[in-house]
Amino acid sequence: MITAKNYDFDAIVVGSGITGGWAAKELTEKGLRVLVLERGRDLQHGTGYLGEHAPSWKIPFNGKPQRELEAENYEVQSKLHAFRTTNIQFWNNDKLNPYATDEGSEFQWFRGGVVGGRSLMWGRQTYRWSEEDFKANAKDGHGIPWPVSYDDIAPWYSYVEKFIGVNGRKEGLPQLPDGEFQKPMPWYAVEETIAERLKQNAPDVTLTNARTAILTEDLPGRSACHYCGPCENGCSTGSYFSSQSSTLPAARATNRMTLRPNSVVERLEYDEKTQRISKVHVIDSETLQRHSFSARVVFLCASTVGSTQLLLNSTSEAFPNGLANRSGVLGQNLMDHFLGLGTMGMFADNRDTYYYGNRPTGLYIPRFRNLPGQKEDLGFVRGYGYQTIINNSNWTGSFNQKGFGAGLKAKLAQLPNTWTFFAAGFGECLPNPQNRVYLSQKKDRYGMRQVAFEFNWGDNEKAMAKDIQAQGKRIVDASGSAFTMSFGDAESLSVPGSGIHEMGTARMGNDPSQSVLNKYNQAHDVPNLFVTDGSFMASSSCVNPSLTYMAFTARACDYAVKQLEAGVI
């Protein structure tokens, strides 16, 4: 076991969300005494999910939005589709913990306010990056080359997938590598019909299961999904992966984790003699008392924006522009996926079939544009995929019909029964140094400078958006839709941040003059500092990034412990 009596802990992990939970698990299981610092309040797995399965009469206003409360305290958070009266306790209070929304340009920063962070509310879409994704920067010159390849990360993808549980179908597509899957969730009959038509009429397009971190087979301490529906309210059975259900319990089982909620990390203190972080300074959000802790190694997992704010705020004579920022790129190259564009179609097929329960995910159409070997110049680089939703316009949407008893039931049974299929595009964002996070002069209640954003979609994203709509119409028409309609604005695109995949502000790279981190997520300038949330990303791909965050975190922990054992850190 690695121990050092001159330190309070062997390792400090800042944040308890998707990557913080993984860092806690990996470091404790490798023998380290770990302090996990979480700025949000404590929340118990299961018993803390107050809105899970709650009947409408036990929810304030039957679950309807509480407009005055939301406008005053959750101005940003309430704009997100996953925000509910039933899970309001999970979210950041914007009034108490603001950022400079009236400065710079608009950016929606969605934050959790409890232990587990956004791992409690995430969409659970879980995809591997491809070799093409890791080569893209070097290939087309946008951003800096990734210092790793798919082969470097593939074993860590497998390691993570086996632990978290991912259901999906293997398709053999190089642009969407297969993983370690549990059995796929079943399809609706009309989705099978659509898939068969696409094979005939649009063979370049694949319709497959959304690869989702929701169990279809039991894992130790966690049960297979029972299709109850509103995952964002919390999952006491642990059927979907979260820090609360999976990684934090694993860390706790080692008896080497200390979890400290209500702990706002103010700054990291840098010792010029040792060229290491010597202390982590913390403010208790309840008492406002200040504390400091020391450790041999520090992992920042506070979210892309949270970690960047902390590094920018940790100035010293050696780092006047932010800790580990000799390159000057800290805060730059902010990325997010754009969404809200696509096509919907209506289908009169398979009206005699029904479905059981609430499948908590749709299907997925992987990238099929700008792939290796394709010669057509599309007017943009990189690519996109579609996430799909299917719903049925059955009798449940017609309760306001006049009538009573058997006559009303007969009338409802005769109403048109159609399926609506949505194919919503998810587009890749190019790294751009003009898109950035920076510190405002405004301060929060702890005396820390608030963050502000500068972000604008570029010409490449706008050209891609037009193709998303054009190809979406082709796909839905090829599916046999009786009525097709596009949605979204290909010129203005979605509000930055609404993809909830902010990343890239402390990117990794081989050249310390152009990057903050090396290929193991270790700061070039500060050997005992690792950053493994979305900050490290050098590009964004077009698939959801959480699996990649987790894989890199597990890999970084393995490397850090070996460095500690060798006495290098």
To 10 degrees, what angle do helices 150-164 and 546-565 make? 100
Q: What are φ and ψ of residue 444, in 5° steps?
A: -90, -175
* pLDDT (average), residues 45-70: 90
pLDDT at 549 over 70: yes
User: 293 pairs with which residues across the strands?
Assistant: 280
For residue 411, what pLDDT is reported? 72
Positive/negative CA dihedral, 199, 205, 206, 210: negative
- Dist. CA 49–CA 27, nearest whole Å: 28
Portion of the chain with pLDDT greater than 70, in percent: 97
pLDDT in tens, 29-42: 999 999 999 999 99
The answer on pLDDT for 230 being more than 90 is no
Band the pLDDT of 99: cuts 50, 70, 90.
very high
Q: Summarize the confidence of residues 412-424 as an average pLDDT.
A: 82
Confidence of residue 336 (pLDDT cuts 50, 70, 90): very high
Per residue in 138-153, pLDDT tens? 999 999 999 999 999 9
Q: Which of 81-85, 281-285, 538-542, 550-554 has the lowest mean pLDDT?
A: 81-85
pLDDT digit string (tens) for 173-208? 999 999 999 999 999 999 999 999 999 999 999 999
Distance CA 191, CA 527 (A): 51
Residue 155: CB atoms within 10 Å:
12
- pLDDT the model gives residue 405: 84
pLDDT for 397 equals 61
Beta-carbon contacts of 58 under 8 Å, excluding residues fewer than 6 positions away, are none
Helix (H) or strand (E) run with residue 299 in it? strand 295-300
Residue 356's CB is within 10 A of a number of other CB atoms, namely 7
Q: What is the pLDDT of residues 354-391, one digit of tens each?
A: 666 789 999 999 999 999 999 999 999 999 999 999 98
Cβ pair 437, 455 in contact under 8 A: no
Percentage with pLDDT > 90 across the chain: 89
Q: Comparing C-alpha atoms, which of 6, 20, 569 is closest to residue 297? A: 569
Residue 3 confidence (pLDDT)? 57
Predicted local confidence at residue 522, as pLDDT? 98
pLDDT of residue 401: 72
In terms of CATH architecture, what is 1-165+241-332+435-440+504-569? Answer: 3-Layer(bba) Sandwich (3.50)
For 431-472, how does the pLDDT look when each residue is reduced to its tens digit (9 = 90+)?
999 999 999 999 999 999 999 999 999 999 999 999 999 999
Task: Give CA–CA dist 221/373, Å, rounded.
Answer: 46
What tokens appear for 504 in the block? Answer: 């890239």
Is residue 402 scored above 90 in pLDDT?
A: no
- Rounded Cα distance between 188 and 552, Å, is 35
| pLDDT number for residue 56 | 83
Q: Is 73 helix (H, G, I), strand (E, B) or coil?
A: helix
On average, the pLDDT of the chain sits at 95
Confidence of residue 418 (pLDDT cuts 50, 70, 90): confident
pLDDT exceeds cutoff 60 at 247 = yes
